[in-house]
C-alpha cells in the first residue's frame, strides 16, 4: 500500500471502468487524489489549467473525441507531459499496440485485469515503481 498522497489523472470514458479504477485505487493508495477526464481532449484542458499538479496519468485507448493514441501524440508534440508518466490502460493484449504506445511516449502499458485483486496488485506495483523512478 502506498501511504503518501499522489495526484492521478484518469482518462477514461467508461463509467464502470472509472468506478473499478477508483475502488482499486482506494485499496492501494487511500490518500491518492484522482481526477477523471472522459477523453484526451478534456484531459489536455485539465493539464493545461493545472500544470504540475498530477504525478501520473492513466489513459484508456478507446474513447470518443480524442482517443489514447491521439492524446499521446498531442502531449508528445506539445511537451505537456514531458516528465509526467503516462500509463496506458486497455483491454487489449496486442503486442503491436503495446509497442506503438511505448514508442509514442507511454511509460507503461497495463492490460485491464479481470478481477479487483489482480488489479490491486498490478496498480500497487506500477505506482511504487513510477513514484520511485520519477
Helix H or strand E encompassing 88: strand 86-90
Residue with the three cell numbers 474513447: 63
Instruction: Give the model's pLDDT for residue 82.
Output: 67
In the prediction, which pLDDT does 113 show?
A: 84
| pTM flag (> 0.75) | yes
Q: What is the pLDDT of residue 134?
A: 46
Domains of the chain: 7-133 (3.40.50.2300)
Contact 109, 90 (CB under 8 A): yes
Find, among 100, 101, 114, the residue nearest to 57 by Cα: 101
What sign does the dihedral 29-7-11-133 (CA atoms) show?
negative
CA distance linking residue 5 with residue 31, whole number of Å: 5
Q: Which grid coordinates belong to 89?
A: 490502460
Query: Mean pLDDT for each consecutive 10-residue tract of the chain (134 residues)?
Result: 76 94 93 94 86 86 91 80 84 91 91 89 89 54
Amino acid at each position: 500500500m502506498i501511504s503518501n498522497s499522489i495526484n492521478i489523472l484518469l482518462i477514461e470514458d467508461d463509467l464502470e471502468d472509472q468506478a473499478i479504477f477508483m475502488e482499486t485505487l482506494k485499496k492501494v493508495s487511500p490518500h491518492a487524489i484522482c481526477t477523471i477526464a472522459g477523453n484526451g481532449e478534456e484531459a489536455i484542458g485539465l493539464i493545461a489549467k493545472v500544470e504540475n499538479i498530477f504525478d501520473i496519468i492513466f489513459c484508456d485507448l478507446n474513447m470518443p473525441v480524442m482517443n489514447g493514441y491521439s492524446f499521446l501524440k498531442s502531449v508528445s508534440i506539445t511537451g505537456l507531459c514531458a516528465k509526467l508518466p503516462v500509463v496506458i490502460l486497455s483491454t487489449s493484449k496486442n503486442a503491436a499496440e503495446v509497442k506503438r504506445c511505448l514508442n509514442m511516449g507511454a511509460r507503461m502499458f497495463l492490460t485491464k485485469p479481470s478481477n479487483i485483486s489482480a488489479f490491486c496488485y498490478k496498480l500497487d506495483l506500477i505506482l511504487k515503481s513510477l513514484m520511485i523512478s520519477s
